[in-house]
A and B are shown apart, each in its own frame.
Chain A
């Protein structure tokens, strides 16, 4: 089956620094990639949707200058948390779609735990 790889799985960074999380579709070309954030015992909150070669579409309330998303190729999207603060500590999950959002066309990465100290 399709695999989405996310790296790093865990990262600890100092407050004020930036951290980059990568999301790769390993065996298919992802027309669209999604970035979610999940707080403990909460559901997934969609942060942004990115299509290869175009600017990401951010959900309301998500700071685009703080959460930079780059979708440079059909197999790679990156999320950079800039000037991270402790409140940015969370579980970040990407997903990739290889077609229309129907049935089994969306695959999730394993997630990245970010801790800002």
Chain B
């Protein structure tokens, strides 16, 4: 089993929809969880990070961590066409020496 699994999609939704993006991880020792957004032909930018179970909200974005299930989610409310991008979950490895990325989910929001 890979350390971080993410459904690559693609995911297409209409403007205004609620989007749910998910990752699972295998190592219960992982402590920090990040979500990056990557526009086409650009470097990833940090969207949200969290290190505890529960929800963390930032505007239209909510990051959710369920450590008991080893499941992390990113919710986007009132999705906009500008949200169209690839979303990658990332987790530092146990040694804290590198980030492990999911495959990325490509999201398309149509107006």
Contact = CB atoms under 8 A, between A and B. Distances in A.
Nearest to A1: B46
Contacts of A41: 8, 106
B49 A46 contact: no
Contacts, number: 63
Contact of B45 (A44, A57, A108): A108
Q: How large is the interface on B (under 10, 10 to 19, 20 to 34, 35 or more residues)?
A: 20 to 34
Interface residues of A, number: 26
Residue among B6, B32, B43, B46 with the most chain A CB within 10 A? Answer: B43
Nearest to B46: A104
* A interface: dominant SS: strand
Contacts of B31: 102
Interface stretch (A14-22, A81-89, A109-117): A109-117
B96 A100 contact: yes
Interface stretch (B13-21, B77-85, B97-105): B97-105
Contacts of A107: 46
B101 A44 contact: yes
Chain B CB within 10 Å, residue with most, of A49, A93, A106, A113: A106
